[in-house]
């Protein structure tokens, strides 16, 4: 990787463009869960079809993240970011057409754009803020959570105020368009490129590799399954659509400060292994509390939301600790995100198959608890003394 060594803060317009770009990296996905019933009605589809629709962008995360280094090398990182935002803009526009096949295509474009941004945005941030990497990465993961909470919470109020599903989905057309505009108005810097290491098939024979993959994949599966189905779960428990969206927003919003405090939390509890055990227990208790109804459901959203912020940061820390160089980190990051997000994409779809539309959620909750347990076991094993590369 080559990055600039400029220590001067970028212009304000660039900082705002960066912030807006991060804010469109989760919201266009999480808004779908908050609008689940309206989307199912508008498209005249069943729960399995909705489950596939909500799983599609996460599957795209896994399938297309490996494209990022190649695109950056060919076009430069800034132009690649613009291309990604263009894909997201096309997708958000396409979702305004209430036809299932069009919605699938549009959602796929959104997923591809965000998949590439997932890999390249940390590189861009490192280039612009070379002296503040820990802080900037913490803020980055925090804004990711904030982006998701915007999609989860504001979708239903917009729907209620306008009476139009297109208005709720159209919020993201505006935000992506504004991000693109600011990048076009921003001063041009040097071209930033990313070069990756060499993939070794022997990596897939190592149990540690799969532990790292499951750490990345299961935390992704739990968060995206939650944002896809939590509003529906809460609605069947008697919550209004706005209250159900608020629960999902709380789940995502508390993850933002938690992610920033990950390093302090790990130090306070004495290491990554005890941290992973505590986070596994917290998430599992939170999931069970969802079904209690009333205030307990919101307590569950908090107990599950805090681990989401911390487990995402722990996955990033794990990949860094298990490699010896930046090229090795790029290899395992692409591998873990690629396979991990594909695994994660099955979560919302499997829940769509398990749920029978009868308000009974035990099978879905059981599936979620298994995923959380697998994350905990994988993290406990992966955070040992072993290295991925000799």
Distances (CA, A) of 213 to 62, 204, 350, 368: 11, 10, 19, 18
Give residue 359's region: left, alpha or beta (phi > 0; psi -120 to 50): left
- The reported pLDDT for the residue numbered 326 is 58
- The reported pLDDT for the residue numbered 75 is 84
- What are 322's two structure tokens? 């298990």
Please identify which residue in the block is written with the tokens 């076991």. 377
The angle, 0 to 180 degrees and rounded to 10, between the axes of the packed helices 47-64 and 326-354 is 170
- The reported pLDDT for the residue numbered 4 is 44
Q: What is the mean pLDDT of each run of 10 residues along the chain (390 residues)?
A: 52 89 92 89 92 89 82 83 96 95 96 90 76 68 81 87 92 95 80 56 81 89 88 90 85 82 86 93 96 93 90 79 68 80 87 83 93 94 78
The angle, 0 to 180 degrees and rounded to 10, between the axes of the packed helices 241-253 and 133-162 is 180
Each residue's pLDDT tens digit, 245-281: 888 888 888 887 888 788 788 889 998 899 999 999 9
Give residue 189's region: left, alpha or beta (phi > 0; psi -120 to 50): beta
- The reported pLDDT for the residue numbered 1 is 40
User: Strands, E, within the chain: which ranges?
Assistant: none
Distances (CA, A) of 275 to 99, 134, 263: 45, 19, 10
CATH number, domain 12-382, options 1.20.1250.20, 3.10.20.520, 1.10.10.10, 3.40.50.20: 1.20.1250.20
> Rounded CA gap, 95 and 104, in Å?
8
- The reported pLDDT for the residue numbered 151 is 85
> Rounded CA gap, 16 and 166, in Å?
26
- The reported pLDDT for the residue numbered 53 is 92
Q: Would you say the C-alpha torsion 279, 284, 286, 287 has a positive or negative sign?
A: positive
- The reported pLDDT for the residue numbered 2 is 42
- The reported pLDDT for the residue numbered 220 is 87
């Amino acid at each position: 990787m080559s990055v600039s060594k400029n220590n001067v803060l970028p212009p304000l317009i660039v900082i705002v463009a960066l912030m807006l770009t991060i804010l469109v990296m989760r919201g266009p996905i999480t808004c779908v869960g908050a609008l689940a019933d309206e989307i199912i009605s508008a498209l005249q589809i069943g729960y399995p079809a909705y489950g596939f629709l909500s799983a599609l962008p996460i599957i795209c995360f896994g399938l297309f993240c490996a494209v990022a280094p190649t695109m950056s090398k060919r076009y430069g990182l800034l132009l690649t970011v613009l291309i990604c935002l263009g894909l997201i803009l096309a997708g958000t526009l396409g979702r305004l057409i209430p036809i299932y096949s069009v919605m699938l295509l549009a959602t796929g474009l959104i997923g591809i754009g965000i998949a590439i941004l997932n890999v390249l945005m940390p590189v861009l941030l490192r280039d612009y803020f070379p002296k503040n990497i820990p802080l900037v990465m913490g803020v980055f993961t925090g804004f990711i959570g904030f982006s998701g909470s915007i999609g989860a919470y504001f979708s239903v109020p917009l729907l209620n105020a306008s009476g139009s599903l297109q208005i709720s989905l159209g919020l993201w057309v505006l935000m992506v368009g504004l991000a693109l505009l600011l990048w076009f108005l921003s001063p041009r810097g040097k071209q930033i490129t990313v070069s990756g290491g060499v993939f070794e098939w022997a990596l897939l024979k190592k149990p540690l590799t799969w532990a790292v993959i499951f750490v990345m994949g299961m935390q992704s599966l739990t968060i995206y399954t939650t944002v896809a189905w939590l509003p529906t779960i809460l609605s069947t428990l008697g919550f209004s659509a706005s209250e159900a969206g608020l629960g999902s927003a709380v789940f995502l919003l508390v993850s933002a400060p938690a992610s920033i405090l990950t390093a302090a939390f790990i130090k306070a509890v004495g290491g990554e292994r005890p941290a992973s055990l505590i986070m596994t227990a917290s998430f599992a208790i939170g999931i069970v509390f969802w079904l209690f109804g009333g205030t307990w459901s919101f307590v569950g959203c908090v107990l599950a939301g805090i681990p989401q912020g911390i487990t995402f940061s722990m996955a990033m820390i794990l990949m860094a600790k298990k490699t010896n160089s930046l090229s090795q980190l790029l290899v395992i990051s692409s591998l873990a995100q690629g396979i991990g997000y594909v695994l994660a994409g099955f979560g919302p779809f499997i829940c769509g198959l398990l749920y029978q539309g009868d308000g009974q959620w035990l099978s879905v909750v059981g599936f979620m608890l298994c995923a959380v347990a697998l994350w905990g076991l994988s993290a406990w094993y992966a955070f040992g003394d072993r290295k991925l590369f000799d």
